[in-house]
Amino acid sequence: MIDADFEVVRDEAPPMSLARGATLVRRARAQLGVGTSTWWFVLPALGLYAFIVLIPTVRGSYYSFTDWDGLNPVKHWVGLDNFTAILHDDAARGAIKHTVLIAIAIMLIQNAIGLLLALGVNSQIKSRNILRVVLFAPAVMTPVVVAFLWQYLYTPDGAINRALGAVGLHGLERGWLGDTSLALWCIVVVIIWQFAGYSMVIFLAGLQSIPAEITEASAVDGAGAFRRFWYVTRPLIAPAITVNLMLSIIGGLKLFDQVWVLTGGGPGYATDTLSTLIYRNAFQFGEFAYSTALALLLTVFVAVVSGAQYRLLRSQEYA
């Protein structure tokens, strides 16, 4: 009898306590709301992000529905008036057009050049290490500094015109930034000069993740250099392509510093972008509410374009 009792206790005690422990843990988890969700871990960062970015953005957006001038404490709700004004504002429509043009040009040309540079310095040429450094160097400079440097190059008696003159091409000498049909492209050149090396580094990282054996296998399989790139390299660097296209289109849509330094949006409004227009309207013309509306438009525009682009590009990457 005693023996039997003893047996029962000894057999059941460990499983019972284990089960009890598990129940306690489960209950604690349910109370805290953790365990199944990882959101809990994101909370501190998310809180900070909300405090610094989300809340100011939402609160700032409010002004785009008012007639606030930035100084007068009195403001009135005007609904969508600011947005309809944008539609009828030639300056705003011009700025949107320039912004889109610059963004597309930068995205295409900067990445094409960056990719070619990456393919070049990914080869076995002796000077590849020094070339990587030299080509990436402009990207570490401050954009405003780069813009000032190029402004000197572009002046009518600057280095570019003098170089053209020195080789007898006087016919090509221009007032580069003063020419309404050229100024926009002059800005694009500066951006590409500065950031092609940056794209190169991202492409290079992608290229170096491809095992040499795979490229060799495609060569043995009968693919020449171009088809090797198209069928094997390109799909394998798709993530780098995504990153580069995203960064360059977002950078292009937000462009401000270089335009402001090089042309200030001029000549006339020939190189105005949404960012320069927003800045001028807000801080020079005191139209804060209207600028906020433009800024909101730019934000939504960037979000929609980059979101759509991201989905499209990710679908091109292999799982």
Asked if residue 230 binds another protein (CB under 8 A), the reply is: no
Exactly one of 19, 130, 214, 312 binds another protein (CB under 8 A); that residue is: 214
In angstroms, rounded to a whole number, what is the distance separating the alpha carbons of residues 291 and 77?
15
Asked if residue 226 binds another protein (CB under 8 A), the reply is: no
Exactly one of 223, 246, 250, 313 binds another protein (CB under 8 A); that residue is: 223
The residue among 239, 244, 309 whose CA lies nearest residue 112 is 244
In whole angstroms, how close is the CB of 132 to another protein at the nearest point? 21
Asked if residue 219 binds another protein (CB under 8 A), the reply is: yes
Asked if residue 205 binds another protein (CB under 8 A), the reply is: no
Exactly one of 121, 232, 245, 278 binds another protein (CB under 8 A); that residue is: 232
Residue whose CB is less far from another protein, 43 or 319: 319
Asked if residue 165 binds another protein (CB under 8 A), the reply is: no
> Residue 66 pairs with which residues in a beta bridge?
77
In angstroms, rounded to a whole number, what is the distance separating the alpha carbons of residues 89 and 287?
14
The residue among 128, 122, 110 whose CA lies nearest residue 210 is 122
**CA angle, 110 then 115 then 121, to 5°:** 125
Say if residue 267 is preceded by a cis peptide, omega within 30 of 0: yes
In angstroms, rounded to a whole number, what is the distance separating the alpha carbons of residues 225 and 220?
12
Residue whose CB is less far from another protein, 236 or 297: 236
In whole angstroms, how close is the CB of 236 to another protein at the nearest point? 6
In whole angstroms, how close is the CB of 203 to another protein at the nearest point? 17
Total interface residues for another protein by CB under 8 A: 19
Both tokens of 293, joined, read: 């509306």
Q: Identity (one letter) of the amino acid at 151? A: Q
Both tokens of 278, joined, read: 């927003």
Asked if residue 207 binds another protein (CB under 8 A), the reply is: no
By the criterion CB under 8 A, which residues form the site for another protein? 211, 213-214, 216-224, 227, 231-232, 235-236, 318-319
